A = this chain, B = another copy of it.
Amino acid sequence: MRASRYLIATQKETPADAEVISHQLMLRAGMIRKLAAGLYTWLPLGLRVLRKVERIVREEMDKSGAQEVLMPSIQPAELWQESGRWEQYGGELLRLNDRHGREFCYGPTHEEVITDLVRNELKSYKELPANFYQIQTKFRDERRPRFGVMRAREFLMKDAYSFHLNQESLDETYQVMHGTYCAIFDRLGLDYRPVQADSGSIGGSSSHEFHVLASSGEDDIVFSTGSDYAANIEKAEAIAPPGERPAAAQPLTEVATPDQRTIDDVAAFLKVDATQTVKTLVVKAEAADDEEQGLVALILRGDHTLNEIKAENLPGIAEPLTMASDEDIEKAIGCKPGSIGPVSLSIPVIVDRSAAHLADFVCGANKEGYHLTGVNWERDVPLDRVEDLRNVVEGDPSPCGNGTLEIRRGIEVGHIFKLGNKYSTALNATVLDENGKTAIMEMGCYGIGVSRIVASSIEQNHDDRGIIWPDAIAPFEVSIVTLNAHKSPEVMEAAELLYNQLRQAGYDVLLDDRNERPGVKFADMELIGIPHRFVVSDRGLKAGTLEYKGRRDADKQDIPVADALSFLVKASPRGGL
């Protein structure tokens, strides 16, 4: 491609409303432009990257045996009503009416449509397993779209759905998809981790997320220092501290703690560490039939935080998790939220594993302005129900048994789920099994955020001069920058020769033949992030050389003109993909 005939829409200024580096650089490098909140146009340079990501995803999905289909983006409400999600799905579902007033949505995902297709097309277990995927524009009406294409409303996604006669077959395909995802993210040159994840509202029993590690990530990812264990913090198991619970040593004592509201206040006032205190959170209980919705107390060590996902998944707790109001608490317990504790509490209590390991601890006295010290489980308060309620923290022992936990930020770029039969049951998607009996199919689903990958790659690959693309998804692998070409026919001729030579070898080449100052051209090529750069100049040609610089290199080097291609093949062996 000749830059003189191509939209190089670089910008010097960092756009004010772009918070993360990938968003800033995609705007500055002329990869995307905003049309409206969460809606972006992909400019030619950005689209080249997107298409390369898409191609790698498609190639690996094909290799896995999945079959590509293309479902409509607009879906009839009837199918969503059949699955029950028309009511459940919140404001992210873009609902609309056609000219005849019929209800549709712009698909944020396609479980209903593919299940409807498969229940009509597949009749026998002999046709299973089957895995269908598409690479398609999705819409999720985010309340607060942000970070450019990282959390846009309209985005490109690869979604796959597999169908099985039984759980074993689902497990197999799930493993194949796990491997396929690793192959995809490897080829994309990303530093990523597959992590255990909560299955969330999409339903199902087991799931992994694939996270690109980056400080701008919106998720906390937990790793073991001693094994491959990795999980989203939503899911990471917090295990009890090692050893037996210490024996009780102090007497139960009520102490006045006037005006001490927070755990830190109370700990400082009583001169104990926050780790020696517990806090009590009150949430709504699962509603029983015909009864008023009760409350449940959750007990955590003072320095720990509640993991809402874990709490919500427990039997007996209302879903979604709902904190009790101050009024509810005063009515049920007779004191304000800041003074609650488990001793003689009138509502059911669930104790976190770490809180359950404490002896001689401090807690609220269920009496305004008072706390209890020297509290001990079983002696002073029964310990009926112990659960994993909290978020892990750095240094926690790993639940795998090896090493301790570290926490880093991650960007979710892929997610694989075992859906089980949630949708196949709702839509009655069956086949005949080996015995000629009707069997509900098991399902898996597997997503990749194709457009989000582009931003994630930038989060991991940039410097103060701009983007640094991995060769595999660079818009162009090589740039050829001409110096003063409009004055020197020799420079232009040599550049054209090299351009044709590299293109014939299969490289994507951007010939920067623009009539701009060298500094402008260099800065643009670096901002755009092209991994390899040759400079053709009069001075160099007189010496029979071109100048080469890799985007990550500190120094330039002179290469004999005749060696340019073989040099590049060594530097970028993936050229000519």
Q: Is the CB of B141 within 8 A of A99?
A: yes
A120 vs chain B, min Cβ distance (A): 7
Q: Is the CB of A70 within 8 A of B98?
A: no
Complex interface residues of chain A between 37 and 76 (CB less than 8 A to chain B): 39-44, 47, 50, 65, 67-76
Q: Does A423 contact B (CB under 8 A)?
A: no
Verify if A7 is at the interface (C-beta below 8 Å from B). yes
Contact A71 to B35, CB < 8 A, known contacts A91-B99, A98-B94, A137-B137: yes
**CA separation between A154 and B71, bound complex, in Å?**
10
Verify if A130 is at the interface (C-beta below 8 Å from B).
Answer: yes
Smallest CB gap from A67: residue in B = B44
Other-chain contact of A47, B7, B70, B97, B154 (Cβ < 8 Å): B70
Taken residue by residue from 378 to 412, chain A's Cβ proximity to chain B (1 for < 8 Å, 0 otherwise) reads as 00000000000000000000000000000000000
Interface string of A1-30 (1 = CB under 8 A from B): 000011101000000000000000000000
Q: Quick check: A47 and B69 within 8 Å, CB to CB?
A: yes
> Closest residue of chain B to A72, judged by CB?
B39
Q: Report yes or no: B76 in contact with A7, Cβ–Cβ below 8 A.
A: no
CB distance from A370 to the nearest CB of B (A): 47
Task: Specify which chain B residues have a CB less than 8 angstroms from the CB of A252 in the assembled complex.
Answer: none
Report whether B70 and A154 are in contact in the complex, using a CB–CB cutoff of 8 Å: no
- Give A141 to B74 CA distance when docked, in angstroms: 11
Interface size, chain A (Cβ < 8 Å): 48
**A7 partner, pick from B35, B36, B67, B73, beta carbons under 8 A:** B67
At the interface, yes or no: A147 with Cβ under 8 Å from chain B?
no
Chain A 260-280, CB-CB to B under 8 Å as 1, else 0, gives 000000000000000000000
Give the chain B neighbours of A137 by CB distance below 8 A: 73, 137
**Chain A contacts with B in 80-100, Cβ cutoff 8 A:** 91-92, 94, 96-99
Is A153 at the interface (CB under 8 A from chain B)? yes
Residue A239, interface by CB 8 Å: no
The listed residue (B75, B76, B96, B153) touching A96 by CB distance below 8 A is B96
CB nearest to A43 among chain B residues: B69
Q: Mark A174-210, 1 if CB is under 8 A from B, else 0.
A: 0000000000000000000000000000000000000
User: A96 to B94, alpha carbons, bound, how many Å?
Assistant: 9
Chain B residue with the shortest CB-CB distance to A129 = B5
A33 interface residue, CB < 8 Å from B?
yes
Cα separation A386 to B75 with both chains bound (whole Å):
52
* 11 CB < 8 A contacts A-B: A7-B67, A39-B76, A41-B70, A42-B70, A42-B71, A43-B121, A92-B99, A96-B96, A96-B97, A99-B143, A106-B106
7 extra interface residue pairs, beta carbon distance < 8 Å, beyond A35-B76, A73-B73, A96-B97 = A9-B121, A35-B72, A41-B117, A42-B71, A74-B153, A92-B99, A99-B141
Give A contacts to B, CB under 8 Å.
5-7, 9, 33, 35-36, 39-44, 47, 50, 65, 67-76, 91-92, 94, 96-99, 104, 106, 113, 116-117, 120-121, 130, 132, 137, 139, 141, 143, 153-154
Query: Nearest 5 pairs between A and B by C-beta?
Result: A96-B96, A42-B70, A39-B72, A91-B99, A44-B67
